[in-house]
Amino acid sequence: MPYLRDDRGREPWAQPFKTYRMPLLNSLVSWLTIKRLNQIDLFRKYPHQVQMEVLQGLLRQGARTSFGRAHGLEPSHELEQFRARVPIRDYDGLKPYVDRLLKGEKSVLWPSDIKWFAKSSGTTSDRSKFIPVSREALEKCHFRGAKDVLVLYSHNHPDSKLYAGKGLTLGGSHQINNISNDSYFGDLSAVLIQNTPFWAHFIRTPDLSIALMDEWESKIERMAQATINQNVTSISGVPSWTLTLIKRIFEITGKSDLHDIWPRLELFIHGGVSFVPYRDEFRRVIPSGQMRYLETYNASEGFFAIQDDPASDSMLLMLDYDVFYEFVPMDQLGLENPQALALEEVRSGVNYAMVITTNGGLWRYMIGDTVMFTSTNPYKIKITGRTKYFINAFGEEIIEDNAREALRVACERTQASLVEYTAAPIYMERGQTGGHQWLIEFERLPESLDRFADLLDLSLKAVNSDYEAKRYKDLTLGPPRVVVARPGLFYDWLKRKGKLGGQHKVPRLANHRDFMDELLALNAEA
């Protein structure tokens, strides 16, 4: 859809932006930044004390709920008493309580009214999860996290002109929950947008009528048309869907450098999936070395960590958001009563499944993510994968972090770049060894697909000793088999499943072939 030119014959994106001086706003931001940095320094210095204060506060509230009474929670309980009374549970264990909330029952998991639910389907599951979002969770966790992103960014980049323009937020949609007319559900991003203070809408784009649209393809079109002539200084969103929007904007404008459209764009805030597979493509569409990237760890269940150091891709675990953290070693997963470790018990370089207790009423909830600590003073983490998404068909224990690093090396050394990928086991049959099948959609094909597969194999051996052992002389595990996906395959697959946009993601790894077989069948249709 072409744009009309203005009365001077210029396209809207070619018009010069006005420069605004905002000394009052900058002074206010500076004061708030200093105040909040002092609080962040406090939990850096006294992490264990802060976390125990968080737990005691949560127990005081939890004792007033149906859940608390059923589990005998008391404000005076120590950690071991709390653990003895409340088992670790996943969503299936929480669901009976959530169902009561959805029917309008009060004070089930948290004493204040729960009017909002973040709808999450994980990656591709057909069954939706409804995560309760209390007012306290919005204010003291999700919104505090968003503010801290700006606080830490402003501190690291005092020359920033972020507030001279608007932030483009690529969020989801929401609709009224039909179970109760007094409660609502939607993607987390949409829940946050809907509850954002009115003044914040003056510094974000697009407007709510577009931001909360349900139909994703129409939404991308409307967002492109509405934001193309705005003074966008930052973008927040999942990398894959952000690239989809950028592609449409390039189609409209005929440009190939995003700074030709938004010359003051300086920051991309990303999360939800690893940025590693998308890094090269972002450098292509935003070739300027002045562009900055900042990772966050925010989910439907809460806001957990922020990249606080531009020189490192680790994220600072935020300890004063009314979230109490525990960590389950990977060898404990699957046990009836897995042993969870408190913060002071964790070690760097070890994979853990994260367990949270929150001010939204999630009690010892296994969120489904795995993390690794890169530092314990202060506590910094990297997301390494999902508890349900890995390959361990032959004892090789491949996790997403292994896959990301191996693909990065293979792409780098063969001049390739990829859009999406998934991998699954090839099971032993008729006397043949097993293996892994990798279905990859490339943005730029490798110079040699065989060399790419060899480098993928060698890199996996380098980062995972279990994989290396199983690959010995091809006795148990054969070399990886790489299949090139047609352009748009993963997009079409998500569309078929009604999961375009928002926080929906392609499963990177699976210990079964359900996803892979569906994708291969769709790939063959082209």
Measuring CA to CA, which residue among 383, 357, 388 is closest to residue 371? 383
Question: Percent of the chain scored above 70 by pLDDT?
Answer: 89
Output the pLDDT for position 192: 83
Would the pLDDT of 125 be above 60? no
Asked if omega into 206 is within 30° of 0 (cis), the reply is yes
> Would you say residue 2 has pLDDT above 60?
no
Beta bridge partners of 391: 398
Supply the pLDDT for residue 235. Answer: 96
Q: What is the rounded distance in angstroms from the CA atom of residue 442 to the CA atom of residue 177?
A: 39
Residue 60 tokens, joined: 């005081």
Model confidence band, residue 97 (pLDDT cutoffs 50, 70, 90): very high
* Residue pair 87/337 in contact by the 8 Å Cβ criterion: yes
Residue 451 clears pLDDT 70, i.e. is over it: yes
Low-confidence winner among 233-242, 256-265, 402-411, 438-447 (lowest mean pLDDT): 233-242
Report the distance separating Cα 55 and Cα 60, nearest Å. 9
Q: What is the pTM of this model?
A: 0.79
Contact 17, 44 (CB under 8 A): no
Q: Per 3-state DSSP, what percentage of the chain is helix, strand, and coil (rounded to 5)?
A: 40, 20, 35
Instruction: Report the amino acid identity of residue 216.
Output: W
Which of 131 and 394 is assigned the larger pLDDT?
A: 131
Q: What angle do CA 122, 59, 86 make, to 5 degrees?
A: 60
Q: What are the pLDDT digits (tens) for 499-515? A: 776 566 788 898 889 99
CA 319/CA 304 separation, integer angstroms? 8
Residue 431 pLDDT: 55
Q: Which helix (H) or strand (E) holds 317?
A: strand 315-317
Kindly give, in sequence order, each residue whose CB lies less than 8 Å from that of residue 380, ignoring residues fewer than 6 positions away.
305, 312, 314, 315, 316, 317, 373, 374
Q: Which two tokens stand for residue 206?
A: 């697009």
pLDDT digits (tens, 9 = 90+) for 56-89: 999 999 999 999 999 999 999 999 999 999 999 9
Share of the chain above pLDDT 90, in %: 62
The residue with greater pLDDT, 279 or 422, is 422
Query: What was the pLDDT predicted at 21?
Result: 44
286-301 pLDDT, tens per residue? 998 889 999 999 999 9
pLDDT confidence bin for 46, thresholds 50/70/90: very high
> In 3D, which of 422, 436, 430, 431 has the Cα closest to residue 477?
436
Mean pLDDT score, 353-364 = 97
Enclosing H/E stretch for 428: none
Supply 434's token pair.
């097993």
How many Å from the N-terminal Cα to the C-terminal Cα in the chain? 27
Higher pLDDT, 55 or 474: 55
- Looking at residue 123, what is its pLDDT? 43
Domains of the chain: 400-525 (3.30.300)
HEC assignment per residue over 363-410: CCEEEEEEEEEEEECCEEEEEEEECCECECCCCCCECHHHHHHHHHHH
Q: What is the mean pLDDT of residues 425-438?
A: 80
The residue with greater pLDDT, 134 or 394, is: 134
Q: Are 230 and 197 in contact (CB under 8 A)?
A: no
DSSP string, 238-305: -HHHHHHHHHHHHHHH--S-GGGT-TT--EEEE-SS-SGGGHHHHHHHS--TT-EEEEEEEETTEEEE
- For the record, the structure tokens of 282 come out as 């972002």
**Is it the case that residue 324 has pLDDT exceeding 60?**
yes
The most distant pair of C-alpha atoms in the chain lies apart, rounded to whole Å, by 74
pLDDT at 347: 97
Q: Which two tokens stand for residue 371?
A: 């993390």
Three-state DSSP class for residue 140: helix
pLDDT, one tens digit per residue, over 172-207 is 766 656 666 678 887 887 788 888 877 677 788 998
pLDDT score of 521 more than 90? yes
Q: Give the mean pLDDT of 453-477.
A: 89
